[in-house]
Amino acid sequence: MSTRPLTILFMPEAAYGPTNQCVGIGDVLRRRGHRIVFAAEASWKGKLVALGFEEDLVDLAPPPENADEQDAGQFWIDFIRDIAPEFRKPTIEQLETYMVPTWQALIDGARFCEPQLRQIIARVQPDVIVEDNVVCFPALTTAGVPFVRIVSCNPLEMKGPDVPPAYSGLPAEDRSQWDAFRAEVERTHRPVWEEFNAWVVEQGAAPLPDLEFMPSDNAANLYVYPQEVDYVDTRPLDPSWHRMDSSVRQTDEQYVLPLEVADRPEGSALIYLSLGSLGGSDVDLMRRLVDVLGRTPHRYIVSKGPRADEVDLPANMVGAQFLPQTTIIPQVDAVITHGGNNTTTECLHFGKPMIVLPLFWDQYDNAQRIDETGYGVRLSTYAFTDEQMLVALDRVLAPAARERAVRTGAAIRARTGLQHGADVIEQVGRAHADATGA
């Protein structure tokens, strides 16, 4: 078997979640001696080099005049900010007014950067290509080297008749609304999919599975979700799929608890509050949470998000625009989260119960799954009452809930998901090198 270092090209979605996912796996592979190149979105310039990776970046749209001053992930921060009022609607109503425009924005980005990706692949000459996104970039699947897909979303994205429809937030034990949701997906998404699939084929790639925006016949497929909350008993997957029970990056700086929250009264819990880089853009929601939680006896570490200067914190809270999440979560008693897949699986990895306030995409599915499996509480993001928040805090801070989460976390960490994901990518690359004599 070939033992030479591999060149591995990662292309994550522009948002923090998928990029951080690739950073975690890429760091393991880099430490093994492989060359890791990121074809990330241009606003990540300089941030990935600082972690030891190469950057060969892409634009998803014509660069703004102040492109050099953009924050990482600014493309999606701006998009979510503008469309945020849609998050107050039921998920079935979001399909037409939020989901379809989001798919279209993703597709527009894929179309725009296709020539750039072909140039990057010619320059980099990768042995393996890894994409963590929800739409196909044909240049990545037609490069003549193994293509690996990472799913950094709730695994309902891998559909099945006996699991709820993806992005619905519907319960697993009640099928009464499944068919209506699927019918609305068909109505709203079919024209967008047909046009995109035709374009993918025009670029020389294979047709996509029906009403799917990503190929499934890949060298390998990875997804991140712990066994304890997975759906494999009701939706088995074929052997190309590999579960990473968790994928916690090891690149975050250490976080030292400030005295304001480290020294707290007996009976006062320490809680981490984060709505993610995109959810944190909803300043009114952040202010509402800060107000309600500021009147509890607990202490809080708050990831304030990209509009941090608009969110003032009371005396029982500390926070900053962005925080090293993976070194904070181990130190707290519970987490209040938007239900992004990274945060959800990191909380399970570290054994922390959650209160989940979903905003968009798969966050509804994660919120529902955490609630129905007993690892946390799902609340209505914009309609929760003060009393409901207080009850939820009592539930997740109860000794039995915390002890169960701790036991589960220990089991998840023992399965070393991050290493497993790196192993799969490395094995795919080695097998291709052996087959081609490279």
> Do 406 and 428 reside in the same domain of the chain?
no
Amino acid 190 reads: R
Residues 313, 223 within the same domain: no
Same domain, 25 and 168: yes
Tell me, yes or no, whether 397 lies in a domain.
yes
367 falls within a domain: yes
pTM: 0.91
Residue 141 in any domain: the answer is yes
Answer yes or no: do 158 and 54 share one domain. Answer: yes
Q: With helix as H, strand as E and coil as C, how does 244-287 read?
A: ECCCCCCCCCCCCCCHHHHCCCCCCCEEEEECHHHHCCCHHHHH
Is 73 within the bounds of a domain?
Answer: yes
Pairing of strands 334-337, 317-320: unpaired
Considering the domain architecture, whether residues 301 and 314 belong to the same structural domain is answered as: yes
Q: At residue 69, what is the residue type? A: E
Is 78 part of any domain?
A: yes
Q: Provide the pLDDT for residue 283.
A: 83
Q: Supply the pLDDT for residue 100.
A: 95
pLDDT of 346 reads 94
Instruction: Clarify whether residues 210 and 272 are in a common domain.
Output: no
Ranges of the chain with pLDDT below 50: none
Nearby residues of 265 by Cβ (< 8 Å), 6 or more positions away = 297
Are 204 and 278 part of one and the same domain?
no
Q: What is the rounded average pLDDT for all residues in the chain? A: 92
- Tally of domains in the chain: 2
| 140 and 110 assigned to the same domain | yes
Question: Do residue 265 and residue 190 come from a single domain?
Answer: no
Q: Quote the pLDDT of residue 297.
A: 94
- Other Cβ atoms less than 10 A from the Cβ of 92: the count is 19
Q: Return the pLDDT at 194.
A: 98
User: In this predicted model, what pLDDT tens digit does every residue of 416-430 receive, in sequence order?
Assistant: 999 999 999 999 999
> Could you give the count of Cα atoms lying within 13 Å of 22 in the half-sphere of its Cβ?
27
CA distances from 241 to 188, 301, 424 (A): 28, 36, 10
Do 369 and 428 reside in the same domain of the chain? no
pLDDT in tens, 269-314: 999 999 987 777 788 899 999 999 999 999 999 998 877 788 889 9
Task: Tell me how far the alpha carbon of residue 435 is from its chain's centroid.
Answer: 33
Range of the domain at 89: 7-245+416-436
Residues 6+ apart with CB under 8 A from 28: 250, 418, 419, 421, 422
Residue 134 in any domain: the answer is yes
Amino acid 249: pLDDT: 77
Question: What is the pLDDT, as a whole number, of residue 262?
Answer: 87
Same domain assignment for residues 310 and 240: no
58: Cβ–Cβ under 8 A, 6 or more apart, which residues? 11, 39, 40, 41, 42, 113, 116, 117, 120
Q: What is the pLDDT of residue 65?
A: 67
Q: Are residues 83 and 200 in the same domain?
A: yes
Domain containing residue 395: CATH number = 3.40.50.2000
Is position 252 within any domain? Answer: no
Q: Is 107 a member of any domain?
A: yes
